[in-house]
Amino acid sequence: MAIQVGDSIPSVTLKHLTDNGMQDITTDEIFKGKKVVLFSVPGAFTPTCSAKHLPGFVQQAEALKGKGVDAVVCTAVNDPFVMRAWAEKNDADGKVTMLPDGNAALATALGLTLDLSKNGLGMRGQRFALIAEDGKVTHLAVEQAGQFEVSSAEAVLAAL
């Protein structure tokens, strides 16, 4: 069952690449005591994700923080190296925290997986955006297949 407004973000440990090498990071560390915007894309460097989704949040990072958001986090079922390269390519450092979900652990725990095996892409995360306050979901917008409307940075700004 997919996560809903009012639910708590599940506790998941993921790997991310830092200047000090590969590190564990938990969703508890990311969400506890903070107001966080989390958005998910099916894959780094894919067309809509690279042309619109991530760039929109990079451009609107300050506006989101101006509305009380402590962190803007992007997740994708990609490895930490790909997510770091994608962040660098999109000037996301310091604006959007890239959260690799290489094994789809977070997408699965949220109940928001997307099977793109028929396209050779395997299991991915659905395109969505959520707002969580102290680990509780206060807003959730999951896109219909092939759409990009409700999970944009502008849509999240409007929901804040």
pLDDT (tens digit per residue) in 20-48: 999 999 999 999 999 999 999 999 998 88
Q: What are phi and psi of 29, to 5 degrees?
A: -65, -40
What is the tens place of the pLDDT at every residue in 96-138?
999 999 999 999 999 999 888 788 776 889 999 999 999 999 9
Cα 71 to Cα 36: distance, rounded to the nearest angstrom? 5
What pTM did the predictor assign?
0.94
* Average pLDDT score, the chain: 94
Catalytic residue among 3, 9, 37, 49: 49
Q: Are 143 and 39 in contact (CB under 8 A)?
A: no
Instruction: Catalogue all structural domains in the chain, each as residue range(s) with its CATH number.
Output: 43-159 (3.40.30.10)
CA-based R_g, the chain, Å: 14
Question: Contact at 8 Å (CB) between 69 and 157?
Answer: no
Question: Catalytic residue at 74?
Answer: no
Q: What is the DSSP letter of 50?
A: I
> Following CA atoms 42, 47, 51, 56 in sequence, which dihedral angle do they give, to the nearest 10 degrees?
-10
